[in-house]
Structures are given as structure tokens and as C-alpha cells.
Amino acid sequence: MLEIILNGLVRGACYALVALGYTMVYGILGMINFAHGEVFMIGMFASVFGIGVASVLLPGYLFIALIVGFIVSILIAAGFGYANERIAYRRLRGAHLMAPLTSAIGLSIVLQNFIMLSVTKDKIDFPQAQSRFFLENQWHVCEGLTISYLQLLILGTSLVVMGALFWVIHRTRLGMAMRAVAQDRMMAQLVGVSVNKTITTTFVIGSVLASIAGVMVSMYQGVARFDSGYLMGLKAFTAAVLGGIGNIPGAVLGGFILGVTEDLTSYGVGSDWKNLTTFLILMVVLLVRPRGLLGERTANKV
Amino acid sequence: MKTRAWGSTILLGILLVAITYPFIWLKLSYEPLSGVLRAIPDFKRGFAFLSGLAPLVGSGLGIYFLFRFLKQNSFFQKKTTAVYHSYKHIRRNSFFPLILFLVFASLAFFSGPKTLNVLIMVGIYMILSLGLNVTIGMTGLLVLGYAGFFALGGYTFAILQQKIPGVTWWMAMPMACLIGAAVGGLVGLPCLRLKGDYLAIVTLGFAESFREMVRNMSGFTGGDSGLVIQAASKVQPLFGLGVKSMVYLWVLAAVFLTVIILHRLYYSPLGRAWTAIRENEIAAEAMGVPVVKMKLLAFSLSAVFAAIAGVFYTAHIGFLNPESSAFEISVLVLAMVILGGLGSIPGALLGSFLLYYIPTILRDYFPTIADYRLLLFGTIMVIMMLVRPQGLLGSKDRV
């Protein structure tokens, strides 16, 4: 039982990292970033390519290759996040709500098919040479609870990254600018905040978080596919809504709750039904408490 | 153009090359035993990808320059205006739809089975895009999982004819409509009270969950292998016409009926309320439009049209599997509506014709084009939103 909850927490940590990107963009723009799941998928692929290049250039240094994989993944995902904002959102910021939604969906379809056509239709493997150390070594905590180093890595990294994000948002000038833009874009502009730069930075930070989740998930599952981002995006969005979209602690909480619920469903009902459970959770939350668990009720701005 | 704009464009270009470089120009080779992965430069695959892209880019640029040329050519403009005016004159005639129907119906008598297949599929996609246009174009709600309702209609028919032998497609039609409307209402109810983008993701989740549910309940729905329609439930030949011709005629009749219904609805108080919601929800509410009710009605209605198209599709193909609820179909229909023009009935018809027919033709010349279809649709969605958000036939003041 403890093991199942632990697995759920590990899964939930990844959901939470991706959900943070959704919730940040929603908080600042009031729109869903539909291409976010695709950025996560690109993070997966980029890390595998980065490790591949590093093991050609520096054969034998496994950990350096892994770190290079992380860095390449972060850089490329940040690039895609930036391009996403520039292409699909910036020019349509003043337009009707439908326009940026549609262009972002179009972009996510383009990204998915670009990877499918240029890399492969099948799955690619995450190199065992790099992940073996984390998979094979385990830490026995107590009776009936064993944590592999990879699970520790995922939980640890995501907690550190989330802590860093809270620090950035609440203690730095950039975070202050982000909160200001989220509150009132025009007012922020009037007091000298560069709105464009702040929004771009938000997209880039969200993409970096998604790519970190991507590297860890591909390491955990051992494979990456061009359509991995689709379901991940759907679930991370559910997590964000569950916690209250636009609310950063809410996204983390929602991610953990969703992960644990999914693993409990797989254990109790069968793993075929776990995606359906996610959808049911989303529907029930929207019906009962549309602002999410931690969200506050706000009036419509006219 | 100013130098600064050029500079940022070039920078964006360099960035795009940098971030796409590994995916296009590197090849992975993995040794499962030692677990070592190598990425080596590989130009052959990259060039293969780019050459597959070439016909799309080429035809896109060709269409763009053709339009630019025609726009500047005054002789051509005079001619098109003349044709358009005479068309408008003919259109006012109340027999015009009937004549158009007869012209298209006559195709049933002398077309080969291959042409008829394409025409039937175009017709089914026309019903789908007309139905989706009710939510996206008229009411301004984005629906991403439209294929879910399409599959729902199909499965209603397939399961009915499985359980009760002898149920024909037209007997299943009212049932499919009812179930489509009910499920549409159920799915729409939680999210239509909220901002528009929730509906997009909830419907996306609905299509995905529906597919998974159908897969899991294999005793009832046939699971992955799908359901086969019995011969007695398919469309029957009539008046000495073949099965294909009859399916074509029925689909054609359904398309015409849909067009007439939607045209009448669009100019009714209901359609005005939908337009008001699309233009400004808060203002509409302040004017006394029951926003949630109207949105729910629009969404249920579009689910009904999807269910009708699903029944036709199942009756035509004679077979149904969970893939009918795939994201690809939702995207295809969405791209049709967006290309043709949001909120425009002729636009939806034109969009579904272009996006189904052109890939079918191109497939004969470039066999690889089928793989690039979704890439094309995604690009169309982005470019249309950036360049001409109202679509090919939509008017500017409407969206």
C-alpha cells in the first residue's frame, strides 16, 4: 500500500511540474497554453539526443552525458517555449479568445507531427547506460517500502525546482513583475514593467519545468514517443484545474492528488481505467468546485 | 521593412534552425545490451523529411502567389465580380437549393464507385463541419473532441443493430440523435458555466475517454477489433440504384437538410443569441440572453449533427472501431471549419471539400503525403489565425 502511494507521489511530482507551466501561463495571460504538453514531449526527445551526442563526444563519462542531456533538453525546450509564445500568442494577444487557442492547438499538432516525421513513428529508448544506476540501486526505508534512486531523484529534483520557483515568484524582481502582469497588465505596463518580456519569461520558465519533467519521465518509463505529450498535457491540465488554475501551490497539490488517485485506481480497478478516472475527476471538479481546491472566487472582469 | 524587424526575424529563424537541428539532422543508434546510445549526423533522413515537405510548401506558395496575382489583376477582378453578381441573382431564386440538389443528385447515376466513395466521405465531413460550425463559428466555443460524438453516434447504431437484429440505419438515427444530445448536454453542463477554454479541454478528454471506454468494455462494444454491421442493417439498394449510389443520395439529402436547418437557425432569434454570445458574452448576458442555456443548446445541437454523421459513416463503411474517436478526426474537422470560415455555412462546405479532396488527389502523385496530412492541418490552423482569422469565406465583421 505504501509502495503504491509512493509510486503515485512520484507520478504526481511529474504531473505537478508540467501543471505549473499551465497554471503560470493561465495566471498571467488567462489562456491555456495548449502546446505545453508538446514542449514536455520535446524535452523527452531532446534529452535522449543530448545524451547521444555527449556519449559520442565523451565516451565513457556516463554522468556527464546525463547532465548534458538535462542541459540540452532545457535549452531546446526553452527555445520551443519562446518560439511558441512568439508565433502562436504574441500577435494574437488582443484578438478574440478563440484565435490564440486555435493557433496554439495548430502549433501543438505541428510539433507532434514534426517529431513523428523527422525522428520516428515508434518509440525511442532512453539509454540504459545512464538510467541503470538509478534504477538498480534501492533504499529500504522500512518494511514494505523500497525507494529506487530514480524515484528519489524525481521527488528530490521536483521539490527543489518547485522551491526555486516559489522563491523566484515571491522574492525576486522578475517574480514581482510576473505577479503584477497577472493582476493587471495595463497597470503593470504603466509603472514600467516590460509586459512582453515578462510573458515570454513565463513561457520559458514553464517550458523549462516541463522539460525537466520530460527527462525524468522518459528515464522512469525508459521510452519516449511522439504522442507522449498529449496525455501528459491532458493530465497536467486536470491537475492544474483540480488545484485551482492560476494558483501555483494548487497545481502542485493537484498533481500529487492526481498521481496518487491514478495509482490507487490502477491497483483497485485496473490500469485500463486510470485515464478515465482522470477525466471523471476533471468533470466532477468542474461541476462541484470550478475554482479548484485552492482557487479563490473572483469576479468577472468586464 | 525596418532593419530591426529584419533582425528579429533572422534571429527567430536562427533559433528555429538551432532548436530543430537535432531532430532533423541526427540519427540515434541504440545498443540495448550495453545500453549505450549514440547520436550521429545523418543527412539522408533529414533530406528525406524535407523532400516530403516540399510538395506541401510548393503548393502552399503556389496558391499564395496565384491569389496575389489574381488580386492585382483588374481584368480577372471584373470577371469574378460579374460572375458573383449573377450568382447572387440566381441565389435569390427560391428554387435554387432544389436545382443544386438535383444537379448533385444526378452524379449518383453515372459516377464510378471510386468517385462515389470520395463524394460520400466529403458529404459526411460536410455534415461534421457544419455541426462543428454551430459551436465554433456561431457561438464561439472551441470544441476539440468532436470525433467523440461522431463515434458515439456510430456506436449507438452499431450496438443497436447488434442487440436487435433487423434495426436499419434510419431506425437507429433518432436514437443516435437523442443519445448525442443527451451526452452533449452532460459533457457541456459542467464547463459551459465557465470560460470558453474549459470546454476545449473537457471535450478533448471526453473523446479520449470514450475511446478508452469502448476499448475496455469489449463484451459490449467489440473492443479494439470493433463491430461489423450486418447486411440487413446497411443501406438498401432502391429504384435500381446500387448501394453506393443510395448512400450518396441519403448523405446528400442530409447535407442539404443540415444546410437548410442551420441557415434558418442562424437568422432566428436563437442564432442571434448565439452570435451575441460569441461577440461579447458579458454584454449578451446583460441584454437578457440566457447564456448558459444557449451555449448548452448549441453544443448539444452540434453533438446531434456529429451523431448523424457517425451513423452515416458506420452505414457506409460497414464497420466501426475505437479509432473513429481519434484526435486526428477532430483536428481534421476543426481545420475544415477554420479554413472555410468561422460561422459561414458555405465556408464549412468549401473547407471540407478542399481538405478532404485535395489530399485524396495529392495521394495519387505523392504517396508519402498521407503522413504529412496532420502537419498540413496544423499549419493551416496557425497561418489562418495569424493572417486571416475569419477564414476563406468568412466576413470580417463577424468574428
pLDDT per residue as tens digits for the range B75-118: 777 777 777 777 777 777 677 777 777 888 777 777 778 888 88
pLDDT at residue A299 is higher than 60 = no
Summarize the confidence of residues B371-383 as an average pLDDT. Answer: 84
Q: Which of A49, A103, A282 sits opposite B386 (nearest CB)?
A: A103
Taking contacts as CB-CB distances below 8 angstroms, the residues of chain B near A49 are 22-23, 26, 28, 39
- Nearest chain B residue to A91, by CA: B386
Taking contacts as CB-CB distances below 8 angstroms, the residues of chain A near B196 are 97-98, 101
Taking contacts as CB-CB distances below 8 angstroms, the residues of chain A near B16 are 83
pLDDT at residue B305 is higher than 90 = yes
Query: Which residue of A283, A284, A300 to mutate against B (max B Cβ within 10 Å)?
Result: A283
Query: Which residue of A33, A47, A113 to mutate against B (max B Cβ within 10 Å)?
Result: A113
Instruction: Give me the helix-helix angle, B146-163 and B113-133, nearest 10°.
Output: 120
Summarize the confidence of residues A56-63 as an average pLDDT. Answer: 83
- Nearest chain A residue to B283, by CA: A302
- Nearest chain B residue to A75, by CA: B19
Mean pLDDT over each residue of chain A, to the nearest integer: 87
pLDDT at residue A275 is higher than 60 = yes
Summarize the confidence of residues B228-256 as an average pLDDT. Answer: 79
**Cβ-defined contact of A282 to B136 (cutoff 8 Å):** no
Taking contacts as CB-CB distances below 8 angstroms, the residues of chain A near B49 are 117-118
**All cell numbers assigned to B329:** 478526426
pLDDT value of residue B1: 47
pLDDT at residue A13 is higher than 80 = yes
The single-letter code of the amino acid at B283 is A
Summarize the confidence of residues A114-124 as an average pLDDT. Answer: 87
Query: What's the pLDDT band for A134 if we cut at 50, 70, 90?
Result: confident
Summarize the confidence of residues A42-71 as an average pLDDT. Answer: 89
**Cβ-defined contact of B386 to A110 (cutoff 8 Å):** no
- Nearest chain B residue to A288, by CA: B190
- Give how far B60 is from chain A: nearest CA, Å: 16
Taking contacts as CB-CB distances below 8 angstroms, the residues of chain A near B202 are 282-283, 286
Q: Is B58 touching A (CB cutoff 8 A)?
A: no
pLDDT digit string, tens, across residues A176-217: 999 899 888 889 999 999 999 999 999 999 999 999 999 999
Query: Which residue of A279, A291, A301 to mutate against B (max B Cβ within 10 Å)?
Result: A279
Residue A149 · residue A219 · CB < 8 Å: no
Q: Which of A56, A101, A113 sits opposite B374 (nearest CB)?
A: A113
pLDDT digit string, tens, across residues B337-361: 888 888 888 888 888 888 888 778 7
Interfacial B residues in 220-259 facing A (CB < 8 Å): none
Summarize the confidence of residues B301-319 as an average pLDDT. Answer: 90
pLDDT value of residue A298: 58
Q: Is B190 touching A (CB cutoff 8 A)?
A: yes
pLDDT digit string, tens, across residues B189-225: 887 777 667 788 788 888 888 888 888 887 777 777 7
- Nearest chain B residue to A99, by CA: B385
Query: What's the pLDDT band for A172 if we cut at 50, 70, 90?
Result: very high
Whole-number percent of chain A with pLDDT over 70? 98
d(CA A282, CA A271): 18
Q: Which of A230, A283, A300 sits opposite B202 (nearest CB)?
A: A283
pLDDT value of residue B182: 93
Q: Is B154 touching A (CB cutoff 8 A)?
A: no
